[in-house]
Amino acid sequence: MKVENGAHSYTLLVGATPDRGGRAAIAHYLDVFEGNATGPTLPGPLVNFGQAVNFPLILGVVVGVFGVATLVHLLVVTVPRRRRDMGVLKALGFLNRQVGATIYWQATTVVVVGLVIGIPLGLAAGKFTWNAFAQNIGVVPVSVVEAGLVASIAVGALVVANLLAIGPAVAAARSRSGRLLTER
């Protein structure tokens, strides 16, 4: 509510439920200030920003696409570059599935390190950015982070990484060890 009292104007934040009791409470405050107050309003810049674009979602999708592309590149390039290492592992007695498992572990390790570093940094950067944005448009900066959503994104990243590792793991497992040790 915006209240004007002579030369002074101030905003009164009132929380009310959307039922009949909440409407009655707001009506009571409007009566107390005898017409010098206006009812609840939504901040225009925030409403306009929300209608224009869903920026956090778009940014998250772009970062995710770049992450997937980077991981695919890493896995595809690793297999040819590590042929000699795979040959040594096979000469030492690794089975084809164990050689393939090394590629899965590589993908998992890369994603886990990225999650351990990226989640705290992302949450901190998001909170900082939201606080700056909210204060700029004049709303209370309250950031909400759903732990379940963050956990499901982390699990999804691990699943996607291991799905992306299937092709390179099969290629590494199918290569012949004798030929691998003699090639450069």
For 109-128, write each residue's pLDDT tens digit: 999 999 999 999 999 998 99
Q: Does one domain contain both 107 and 134?
A: yes
For residue 181 the two structure tokens come to 């040790």
Q: Does one domain contain both 24 and 91?
A: no
Q: Does one domain contain both 25 and 69?
A: no
Q: Does one domain contain both 9 and 32?
A: yes
Q: Does one domain contain both 12 and 65?
A: no
- Contact between 127 and 143 under an 8 Å Cβ cutoff? The reply is yes
- DSSP at 12: -
Q: Does one domain contain both 111 and 164?
A: yes
For the chain, how far is it from start to end, CA to CA, in angstroms?
75
Kindly state the percentage of the chain with pLDDT values over 90.
Answer: 36
- Smallest CA-to-CA distance from 37 within 62, 1, 67 is with 1
Q: Does one domain contain both 148 and 176?
A: yes
Return the axis-axis angle of helices 44-52 and 96-137, rounded to nearest 10°: 150
- Answer whether residue 182 shows pLDDT above 70: no
- Contact between 169 and 101 under an 8 Å Cβ cutoff? The reply is yes
Overall pTM > 0.95: no
Q: Does one domain contain both 138 and 122?
A: yes
Q: Does one domain contain both 72 and 89?
A: yes
Q: Which residue(s) pair with 3 in the sheet?
A: 10, 37
Range(s) of the domain holding residue 37:
2-41
- Contact between 46 and 55 under an 8 Å Cβ cutoff? The reply is no
Q: Does one domain contain both 32 and 80?
A: no
- Smallest CA-to-CA distance from 70 within 175, 157, 156, 155 is with 157
